[in-house]
Amino acid sequence: MAVSTVLGRSDLGDPTEQGRPVRPSRRPGGGQRAVTWILAITMIVVGLLMLLPIIWMMFTAFKPESDIVSYPPTLWPRELTIDHFIDVWNRIPFARLYVNTIVFAGGVTLISLLFDSMAAYALARIPFKGRAVVMVLILVLLMLPFQVTLIPLYDMLNGMGLTNTLPGLIIPRMTNAFGIFFLTQFFLSLPKDLEEAARVDGASEWRIYWGIVMPLARPALLTLGLFHFQYNWNDLLWPLVMSSSVETSTLPAGLSLFMGQHVVEYGLLMAGSLLSLVPVILFFLLIQRSFVAGIATTGLK
């Protein structure tokens, strides 16, 4: 079982760290060491290049406007200011956008983790007639581009008076085929012994699901939680379609609307953008350790 992290320190690929005997032949020699250093330098440079837009955004948010538009442009600020962060709260309904995004992404993540895992529990752990039919339905919906349903969905929610509201944004996302598929794969990999014992002792299916299977599924739930959270936190098209004003919008949609209207205020936009990246990055750093245990033990392996 892969209880480790791909992005963190430990490494499953190295047999020495899995309690297997150390093989002296794998010790790097002199030539090997040079190769390792070249590799290290190359990958650190690649990493920095990948981070460039984020690093640049960070520095730009602290630059005075005159510095941002000066030529030649520089990465490092000549002068530091926090004016843009103050501006962003005063000039656009930033707090409103932030709350909307938290409620939308957080709400969708929690509800869909519950619904996805209930469905996945039934599909993976309870034999019943019709299971195959439901599995096929899930797989077909997995391939369906979301955009295909966009228009009728909008139309339907518009008819219910749910456009420009948070429930309208959240309700269609309360479960999804990918989440059910992902968790089904994980639940299938769990050993049967514990729950069989509980079943013999007369525990209800709900108690087995909630008390035994869910705690075991923690890495997978956190990983799927990250996917759901980042996807909805970042989604542009859905909030753009569902809300017509900045007040009922989410951060990506709100900021992109704002960019169209006030093109020149780079510092303000960068400060707003930077603030909106914080929760997703925090979420990721918090669950980083379980993250790949989740991937390595599901169908994504």
Partner 1 sequence: MTTTVGPPTERTTAPRPAPPRRRRPLLKANGRRALTAWLFLTPSLIVLLAFTLYPMIQAGYLSLTDYNLIRAARFVGLDNYVELFQDPAFWNAFGNTVLYAVVVTPVTVVLALLFALMLNQRFVGRSFARTAIFLPFIVSLGIIAIAWAFLLDPNIGLLSYWLGEIGIVPEQGWLNDPRYAMAAVMAVGVWKNVGFYMVIYLAGLQSIPGEIYEASRLDGAGPWQRFRSVTLPLLSNQTLLVSVLALIATLQAFDQIWVMTHGGPFFRTETLVMLVYREGFQQLRFGYASAISFVLLVFVFILSMVQFGYLRRKQVTY
Looking at residues 12 to 31 of the shown chain, list those that interact with partner 1 (rule: CB under 8 A). 12-15, 20, 23
65 binds partner 1, rule: CB under 8 A: no
- Applying CB under 8 A, the span of 81-89, 91-99, 211-219, 252-260 interacting with partner 1 comes to 252-260
In the complex, least distance from residue 90 CB atom to partner 1, rounded to whole angstroms: 20
- Applying CB under 8 A, the span of 43-51, 82-90, 91-99, 212-220 interacting with partner 1 comes to 43-51
139 binds partner 1, rule: CB under 8 A: no
Using the rule CB under 8 A, which residue among 92, 169, 212, 226 binds partner 1?
A: 226
In the complex, least distance from residue 132 CB atom to partner 1, rounded to whole angstroms: 13
175 binds partner 1, rule: CB under 8 A: yes
51 binds partner 1, rule: CB under 8 A: yes
Using the rule CB under 8 A, which residue among 30, 72, 161, 215 binds partner 1?
A: 72
220 binds partner 1, rule: CB under 8 A: no
SS (HEC) of the chain: CCCCCCCCCCCCCCHHHHCCCCCHHHCCCHHHHHHHHHHHHHHHHHHHHHHHHHHHHHHHHCCCHHHHCCCCCCCCCCCCCCHHHHHHHHHCCHHHHHHHHHHHHHHHHHHHHHHHHHHHHHHHHCCCCCHHHHHHHHHHHHHCCHHHHHHHHHHHHHHCCCCCCHHHHHHHHCCCHHHHHHHHHHHHCCCCHHHHHHHHCCCCHHHHHHHHHHHHCHHHHHHHHHHHHHHHHHCCHHHHHHCCCHHHCCHHHHHHHHHHHCCCCHHHHHHHHHHHHHHHHHHHHHHHHHHHHHHHCCCCC
Residues 77-96 that bind partner 1 (CB under 8 A): none
Using the rule CB under 8 A, which residue among 30, 90, 161, 200 binds partner 1?
A: 200
146 binds partner 1, rule: CB under 8 A: yes
